[in-house]
Structure 1
């Protein structure tokens, strides 16, 4: 099983998506937001409170036995000073800079990064250029979706990296950028072969297409008889209506959005966001209010009372379903029971924020399965991989072969015997340890 480290971990959506494939297990995590860390610890029974920018944590990672680096890193501007030299200076001070330092100290087989879709156009496309150039040219990784022109120019566009949650079994319009990069030092020429797929998945894996917990419409994930406090006050709804009219009068399209109104009746939600209001107001629902007393309504202290149009916010649980956390990603495979729950000390405002910041688990699961299949294709050409491993580490052992190729020790021994018989490797023995070196 491949080992992952989970950086900028949030509440663990990337980790969970990889784990669900059955091919990956997580060995180290880093998250500095206290509320997110509480949820993460509750879900995975481990403390993720590590600062990936600290020298102490980087040293821990350098000693860590892992294969795939995961990070849902923030979109930050890179330096635009003209006198800076090299990619390191360009990225200095950003989370991406610290991630590259971690990669340099202990190279993973694969790097998986997730970000907002605007990263591909951010800062006049300068941000994406620095990221791709850093991975490809400085760190020597092959980035999926990037092709090399004859003149050495790296060719890619928005479609190379952006995929939408609504194409992966969840009713949410959520375009995000995904970067998958394989280590050229280890896999070399194999990354340019016809067998290696240079395009991100565009939809669910075949085995997920018929999953009963996916491919639902918006109405299928809505709660019924929700608490009154989710319904908007008459005053607030009136404010939103006036704001939308002003925007339209000024030629702007932004305003509140009722997903299931007669005018719209959408089958999927708009992007949910961590910023609170904007994400909630663009995902309003019309639903008959539960019966209630005048006293119950008065206790909510809503200006002007509750609105007369039955307009409400979506609940955190509904947001959890839109991301595949609730109703899919944490369902126990043995009992069929839902296991996702926030700890009691995480307030509702933070629940919205955490789901708004999170990834969509079926998308991640599909990307993880893609990575596993790519690694399996690469490892079939084990002689090329082991030659590169020998060159990098100064020799190979049965243990390093088993780990690199994800095979049993006895199978690693078989490969060594085959290579020795073909006179392709020599061995040196020091006590109990035996190392092998390729002849050429």
Structure 2
């Protein structure tokens, strides 16, 4: 019997993958502690595991002995500059509490998950501290950057997974693989036969519900505007991003007339401004430099620039400061900010944006449902969702991809047979 604890448990993605792996290997397990501070996530956790996980890890002291520590811990900078970058440097962060429990109970195995940026976070000091802490506590470890799309999920999600073992270096056969850079590259690789993984590629179309509730449909007005811009062919929505700060495969607020209908010249002005404001001759500001009328005249070819600028200022598509003009950018004005391509994979789910991912499917322009988001993370359809959609979207944006944990744990257990002896 392997006894484990589930820290920063969220809705139990790590636990679910861990238990699935052990079940397939015929190994019994028991969760002796679940810890999560988000009360809404705790409701979902309890609905699925029968346990109230509410627990403030910073106040946790008395814990039974356990064999495995699971933690999808938050990424926080360590503030002590110029020190040894060890255990004491983690004080004031949540990783300190993870380390404190490892130090106290000395489990045989620790599996930690975090965002891929952990490696470079705080100029590399955060990861260096974590490595030194684990080493000081007597652990050897390996880490992998893995993309969920390589493990039977229709989502481009790269995360770091750390496997720490007491006293000896763990053997992992899973290779680092961050996958395709985006959904377009994934689709090209798929079409050209360049994907070589033991898991069959799952696409967005494979996780879609056939007839979800009408409440997930986009508004009639928004759909009409999209239909007009795409000249009646809504299949062109596949892979489209709705954003004002970039060009490419995008639809903009001025194309849709969200702040007021735009003339042909106004749309061309905006398209030219977005295409030219990043050019080095105008400066190197990452988000695009505000330009003067004289600078805009170098690429806007018509003689109606004064009336165009005046009209766009009035509609608030552009703003002016000290004689310089720039976009009033942002994507919060769109009901959907990205339409997924059914024949590719999803962009990474996030807690803030999962509710505004869209799809054109079965003749409907709609948002992804919470169940579809759950499927993108590898949660089974038997998994009970939070009754409030807003909570469910947030929870699956924060979740850990279940099949990745399952594959990682099986790899650890199979290739490290002496782990619990």
RMSD: 2.8
Deviations 1:28-61 (A, max 9, x none): 111111011011111111121122111xx222x2
Contact 1:144 1:199 in 2 (8 A): no
Runs of 4 or more, structure 1, over 3 Å off, are 198-203, 233-256
Q: Give 1:42-61 correspondences, 5 Å limit.
A: 42-54=47-59, 57-59=60-62, 61=63
Q: Does 1:342 align with 2:341?
A: no
Q: Secondary structure at the match of 1:325?
A: coil
Identify the match of residue 339 of structure 2 among 229, 253, 258.
258
Q: Does 1:173 align with 2:173?
A: no
Question: Which residue in 1 is equivalent to 2:361?
Answer: 287
Q: Give 1:178-257 correspondences, 5 Å limit.
A: 178-184=161-167, 187=168, 191=169, 197-198=171-172, 200-201=174-175, 209=198, 215-233=201-219, 234=221, 240=242, 242=244, 244=246, 245=252, 248-249=274-275, 250-251=277-278, 256-257=337-338
Is the alpha carbon distance of 1:248 and 1:76 closer, same or farther for their aligned partners in structure 2, counting shifts above 3 Å?
farther
Structure 1 residue 173: deviation in Å? 0.2
Question: Which residue in 1 is equivalent to 2:3?
Answer: 3
Is the alpha carbon distance of 1:257 and 1:177 closer, same or farther for their aligned partners in structure 2, counting shifts above 3 Å?
same
Deviations 1:355-404 (A, max 9, x none): 1111111100011112212331x35xxxxxxxxxxxxxxxxxxxxxxxx4
Structure 1 residue 235: deviation in Å? 5.2
C-alpha distance in 2 between matches for 1:123 and 1:27: 34
Contact 2:242 2:338 in 1 (8 A): no
Identify the match of residue 344 of structure 2 among 244, 264, 267.
267
C-alpha distance in 1 between matches for 2:85 and 2:151: 38
Q: Secondary structure at the match of 1:326?
A: coil
Question: Which residue in 1 is equivalent to 2:99?
Answer: 100
C-alpha distance in 1 between matches for 2:65 and 2:33: 10
Identify the match of residue 141 of structure 2 among 136, 140, 143.
143
Structure 2 residues not aligned, in runs of 5+:
178-196, 227-240, 247-251, 253-269, 279-286, 289-329, 332-336
Structure 1 residue 224: deviation in Å? 2.3
Contact 2:171 2:416 in 1 (8 A): no
Structure 1 residues not aligned, in runs of 5+:
146-160, 290-309, 328-338, 380-403, 406-440
Q: Secondary structure at the match of 1:284?
A: strand
C-alpha distance in 1 between matches for 2:385 and 2:172: 38
Structure 1 residue 80: deviation in Å? 4.3
Q: Give 1:41-80 correspondences, 5 Å limit.
A: 41-54=46-59, 57-59=60-62, 61=63, 64-80=64-80
C-alpha distance in 2 between matches for 1:374 and 1:12: 25
C-alpha distance in 1 between matches for 2:96 and 2:173: 26
Q: RCO higher in 1 or 2 (8 Å CA, sep ≥ 6)?
A: 2
Give the structure-2-normalised TM-score.
Answer: 0.65
Q: Does 1:357 align with 2:355?
A: no
Give the structure-1-normalised TM-score.
Answer: 0.63
Structure 1 residue 202: deviation in Å? 5.6
Is the alpha carbon distance of 1:122 and 1:248 closer, same or farther for their aligned partners in structure 2, counting shifts above 3 Å?
farther
Contact 1:5 1:27 in 2 (8 A): yes
Provide the aligned length of Structure 1 versus Structure 2. 302
Q: Secondary structure at the match of 1:222?
A: coil
Contact 1:201 1:366 in 2 (8 A): no
Contact 1:162 1:178 in 2 (8 A): yes
Structure 1 residue 122: deviation in Å? 1.4
Is the alpha carbon distance of 1:375 and 1:197 closer, same or farther for their aligned partners in structure 2, counting shifts above 3 Å?
closer
Question: Which residue in 1 is equivalent to 2:316?
Answer: none
Structure 1 residue 348: deviation in Å? 0.6
Contact 1:9 1:29 in 2 (8 A): yes
C-alpha distance in 2 between matches for 1:230 and 1:111: 40
Q: Does 1:373 align with 2:414?
A: yes
Structure 1 residue 231: deviation in Å? 2.5
C-alpha distance in 2 between matches for 1:320 and 1:172: 11
